[in-house]
Amino acid sequence: MYLQHFGLRELPFSLTPNTHFFLNMASYHKAYNMLMVSLANAEGFIKIVGEVGTGKTMLCRKILNTLEEDKDNYVTAYIPNPVLSPKGLFLAFAEELNIEIDQDVGHHRLLKAITERLVEFSAENKQVVLFIDEAHAMPEQTLEALRLLTNIETEQVKLFQVVLFAQPELDCC
Protein backbone atom coordinates (compact mmCIF):
# COMPACT_ATOMS: atom_id res chain seq x y z
CA MET A 1 0.00 0.00 0.00
CA TYR A 2 2.68 2.55 1.05
CA LEU A 3 5.01 1.60 -1.75
CA GLN A 4 2.63 2.24 -4.62
CA HIS A 5 0.71 5.17 -3.15
CA PHE A 6 3.77 7.18 -2.10
CA GLY A 7 6.16 5.86 -4.75
CA LEU A 8 8.51 4.35 -2.17
CA ARG A 9 11.16 1.73 -2.91
CA GLU A 10 10.95 0.07 0.52
CA LEU A 11 8.60 -0.08 3.48
CA PRO A 12 9.18 2.86 5.85
CA PHE A 13 7.72 1.33 9.04
CA SER A 14 9.61 -1.88 9.71
CA LEU A 15 10.55 -3.20 13.13
CA THR A 16 14.26 -2.94 12.31
CA PRO A 17 15.67 0.54 12.95
CA ASN A 18 16.88 1.83 9.59
CA THR A 19 18.99 4.98 9.89
CA HIS A 20 18.03 6.02 6.36
CA PHE A 21 14.64 6.87 7.87
CA PHE A 22 16.11 8.79 10.83
CA LEU A 23 13.80 11.69 11.58
CA ASN A 24 15.91 14.55 12.84
CA MET A 25 13.23 16.03 15.12
CA ALA A 26 14.31 18.54 17.75
CA SER A 27 14.38 15.97 20.58
CA TYR A 28 16.48 13.48 18.57
CA HIS A 29 18.71 16.23 17.26
CA LYS A 30 19.33 17.44 20.81
CA ALA A 31 20.10 13.89 22.05
CA TYR A 32 22.35 13.23 19.04
CA ASN A 33 24.28 16.48 19.57
CA MET A 34 24.59 15.89 23.31
CA LEU A 35 25.99 12.41 22.67
CA MET A 36 28.46 13.65 20.07
CA VAL A 37 29.72 16.42 22.39
CA SER A 38 30.01 13.99 25.30
CA LEU A 39 31.97 11.56 23.14
CA ALA A 40 34.23 14.32 21.84
CA ASN A 41 34.96 15.33 25.45
CA ALA A 42 35.63 11.71 26.47
CA GLU A 43 33.16 11.86 29.31
CA GLY A 44 33.34 8.17 30.31
CA PHE A 45 29.94 6.63 30.99
CA ILE A 46 26.93 7.92 29.09
CA LYS A 47 23.44 6.56 29.67
CA ILE A 48 20.45 7.02 27.38
CA VAL A 49 17.20 5.83 28.96
CA GLY A 50 13.77 5.69 27.35
CA GLU A 51 10.64 3.60 27.10
CA VAL A 52 10.22 0.87 24.49
CA GLY A 53 9.80 2.34 21.02
CA THR A 54 11.23 5.80 21.73
CA GLY A 55 14.11 5.39 19.26
CA LYS A 56 17.05 4.44 21.47
CA THR A 57 18.34 1.79 19.07
CA MET A 58 17.85 4.11 16.10
CA LEU A 59 19.88 6.81 17.89
CA CYS A 60 22.52 4.23 18.82
CA ARG A 61 22.90 3.10 15.21
CA LYS A 62 22.93 6.68 13.93
CA ILE A 63 25.81 7.54 16.30
CA LEU A 64 27.61 4.29 15.39
CA ASN A 65 27.33 5.13 11.68
CA THR A 66 28.65 8.64 12.30
CA LEU A 67 31.66 7.42 14.29
CA GLU A 68 32.42 4.60 11.86
CA GLU A 69 32.76 7.23 9.12
CA ASP A 70 35.50 8.83 11.26
CA LYS A 71 37.83 5.82 11.48
CA ASP A 72 40.83 8.13 11.89
CA ASN A 73 39.61 9.18 15.32
CA TYR A 74 37.19 6.52 16.59
CA VAL A 75 36.97 2.78 17.07
CA THR A 76 33.52 1.47 17.90
CA ALA A 77 32.36 -1.70 19.59
CA TYR A 78 28.69 -2.67 19.65
CA ILE A 79 27.01 -5.23 21.89
CA PRO A 80 23.31 -5.49 21.04
CA ASN A 81 22.42 -8.22 23.54
CA PRO A 82 24.26 -7.86 26.85
CA VAL A 83 22.67 -10.81 28.63
CA LEU A 84 26.16 -12.14 29.23
CA SER A 85 28.33 -13.27 32.09
CA PRO A 86 31.15 -10.89 33.01
CA LYS A 87 33.61 -13.05 31.05
CA GLY A 88 31.15 -13.23 28.15
CA LEU A 89 31.02 -9.42 28.09
CA PHE A 90 34.82 -9.20 28.06
CA LEU A 91 35.02 -11.78 25.26
CA ALA A 92 32.40 -9.88 23.25
CA PHE A 93 34.30 -6.62 23.75
CA ALA A 94 37.57 -8.31 22.74
CA GLU A 95 35.92 -9.70 19.61
CA GLU A 96 34.58 -6.25 18.71
CA LEU A 97 38.14 -4.90 19.05
CA ASN A 98 39.37 -7.63 16.67
CA ILE A 99 41.41 -9.35 19.35
CA GLU A 100 41.97 -12.97 18.45
CA ILE A 101 41.76 -14.89 21.68
CA ASP A 102 40.81 -18.41 22.71
CA GLN A 103 37.38 -18.71 24.34
CA ASP A 104 39.00 -20.70 27.17
CA VAL A 105 41.48 -17.96 28.02
CA GLY A 106 41.86 -17.06 31.68
CA HIS A 107 40.38 -13.87 33.10
CA HIS A 108 43.78 -12.21 33.64
CA ARG A 109 45.02 -12.93 30.10
CA LEU A 110 41.72 -11.70 28.64
CA LEU A 111 41.93 -8.39 30.51
CA LYS A 112 45.58 -8.04 29.55
CA ALA A 113 44.77 -8.53 25.85
CA ILE A 114 41.98 -5.95 26.03
CA THR A 115 44.25 -3.47 27.86
CA GLU A 116 47.06 -3.92 25.33
CA ARG A 117 44.68 -3.32 22.42
CA LEU A 118 43.19 -0.24 24.08
CA VAL A 119 46.69 1.15 24.69
CA GLU A 120 47.50 0.58 21.00
CA PHE A 121 44.44 2.56 19.96
CA SER A 122 45.31 5.33 22.42
CA ALA A 123 48.84 5.53 20.98
CA GLU A 124 47.22 5.99 17.54
CA ASN A 125 45.06 8.79 19.03
CA LYS A 126 41.93 6.74 18.44
CA GLN A 127 39.09 6.95 20.89
CA VAL A 128 37.35 3.64 21.65
CA VAL A 129 33.62 3.73 22.32
CA LEU A 130 31.68 0.70 23.54
CA PHE A 131 27.95 0.85 22.79
CA ILE A 132 25.67 -1.48 24.74
CA ASP A 133 22.05 -1.64 23.63
CA GLU A 134 19.36 -3.08 25.90
CA ALA A 135 21.65 -2.44 28.88
CA HIS A 136 18.77 -2.87 31.33
CA ALA A 137 18.98 -6.62 30.57
CA MET A 138 22.56 -6.92 31.83
CA PRO A 139 22.92 -9.13 34.90
CA GLU A 140 24.01 -7.13 37.94
CA GLN A 141 27.37 -8.94 38.10
CA THR A 142 28.05 -8.08 34.47
CA LEU A 143 27.17 -4.43 35.02
CA GLU A 144 29.63 -4.32 37.93
CA ALA A 145 32.28 -6.05 35.79
CA LEU A 146 31.74 -3.38 33.13
CA ARG A 147 32.19 -0.66 35.73
CA LEU A 148 35.45 -2.25 36.83
CA LEU A 149 36.57 -2.67 33.22
CA THR A 150 36.35 1.10 32.80
CA ASN A 151 39.18 1.39 35.32
CA ILE A 152 41.51 0.60 32.42
CA GLU A 153 43.23 3.93 31.90
CA THR A 154 46.54 5.69 31.56
CA GLU A 155 47.66 8.48 33.85
CA GLN A 156 46.14 10.97 31.43
CA VAL A 157 43.02 9.40 29.92
CA LYS A 158 40.41 6.70 30.11
CA LEU A 159 41.12 4.20 27.36
CA PHE A 160 37.50 3.80 26.33
CA GLN A 161 34.04 5.20 26.83
CA VAL A 162 30.79 3.36 27.41
CA VAL A 163 27.40 4.38 26.07
CA LEU A 164 24.46 2.48 27.55
CA PHE A 165 21.05 2.47 25.86
CA ALA A 166 18.38 1.12 28.17
CA GLN A 167 14.78 1.08 29.29
CA PRO A 168 13.92 2.82 32.57
CA GLU A 169 14.49 -0.40 34.53
CA LEU A 170 18.22 0.41 34.50
CA ASP A 171 17.55 3.47 36.65
CA CYS A 172 16.26 1.39 39.53
CA CYS A 173 19.56 -0.50 39.96
Read off the pLDDT of residues 14-47 as tens digits, 9 standing for 90 and up: 556 555 555 566 667 788 888 888 888 887 788 8
Does 98 map to a domain?
Answer: yes
85 vs 146: CA distance, rounded Å: 11
Tell whether the model's pLDDT for residue 127 goes beyond 70: yes
Which residues in 101-127 are b (16+ Cβ under 10 Å) and which e? beeebeeeebbebbeebbeebbeeebb
User: pLDDT band at residue 129, thresholds of 50, 70 and 90?
Assistant: very high
Tell whether the model's pLDDT for residue 81 goes beyond 70: yes
User: What totals of helices (H) and strands (E) does the chain contain, helices first?
Assistant: 6, 4
Does 124 map to a domain?
Answer: yes
Range of the domain at 81: 47-172
Tell whether the model's pLDDT for residue 93 goes beyond 90: yes
Q: What is the CATH number of the domain that holds 150?
A: 3.40.50.300
User: pLDDT band at residue 1, thresholds of 50, 70 and 90?
Assistant: low
Amino acid letter at 171? D
For 94, phi then psi, to 5°, come to -60, -45
Does 14 map to a domain?
Answer: no
Left, alpha or beta for 79 (phi > 0: left; psi -120 to 50: alpha)? beta
Q: Into how many domains does the chain fold? A: 1
Q: Give mean pLDDT, residues 79-99.
A: 94
pLDDT of residue 23: 58
Does 70 map to a domain?
Answer: yes
Does 32 map to a domain?
Answer: no
Under 8 Å between Cβ of 58 and 22: yes
Tell whether the model's pLDDT for residue 121 goes beyond 70: yes
Does 41 map to a domain?
Answer: no
131 vs 41: CA distance, rounded Å: 16
pLDDT of residue 22: 54
Does 65 map to a domain?
Answer: yes
Tell whether the model's pLDDT for residue 113 goes beyond 70: yes
**Helix-, strand-, coil-residue percentages of the chain, each rounded to 5:** 45, 15, 40
Residue 89: exposure state from Cβ atoms within 10 A (0-12, 13-18, ≥19): buried
150 vs 162: CA distance, rounded Å: 8
Does 26 map to a domain?
Answer: no
Between these two residues, 119 and 56, which has the higher pLDDT value?
119
Residue 173: exposure state from Cβ atoms within 10 A (0-12, 13-18, ≥19): exposed
Q: pTM for the full model?
A: 0.83
